[in-house]
């Protein structure tokens, strides 16, 4: 049974870029980097699909959306903490 490894995005990008250059075969890259050839092909395909979007600003929008969501969630957490504190005080007064 083999152990599933996790690779960093930088490593994946490096391997995918090497595959896209086509200076070596996928089998050679697989042997060199110690990664299965199917995984290299998958990373290469993903890189080539996402490459046109790098310059489109789509990633900035995703990042802004994520930051906005995080901000909203923190506000909600703060609101819930205030409500919880209020409820605790009221329940102590009733006891």
Helix axes 9-21, 26-33, angle to 10 degrees: 150
The predicted-structure confidence for 72-89, as pLDDT tens digits, reads as follows 999 999 999 999 999 999
Instruction: Show me where the domains of the chain are located.
Output: 7-56, 57-95
Long-range pairs for 4-13: beta carbons < 8 A, 24 or more residues apart: 7/35, 12/43, 13/47
CA distance 70 to 84: 21
pTM of the model: 0.57
Tokens describing residue 42: 């998958």
Measured from the Cβ of residue 37, the count of other Cβ atoms closer than 10 Å reads: 15
pLDDT at 55 over 80: no
Tokens describing residue 32: 């060199």
């Amino acid at each position: 049974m083999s152990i599933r490894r996790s690779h960093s995005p930088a490593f994946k990008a490096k391997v995918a870029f090497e595959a896209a250059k086509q200076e070596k075969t996928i089998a050679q890259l697989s042997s060199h980097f110690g990664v299965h050839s199917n995984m290299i092909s998958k990373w290469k395909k993903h890189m080539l699909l996402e490459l046109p979007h790098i310059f489109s600003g789509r990633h900035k929008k995703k990042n802004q959306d994520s930051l906005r969501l995080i901000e909203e969630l923190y506000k909600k957490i703060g609101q819930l903490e205030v409500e919880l504190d209020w409820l605790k005080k009221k329940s102590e007064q009733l006891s």
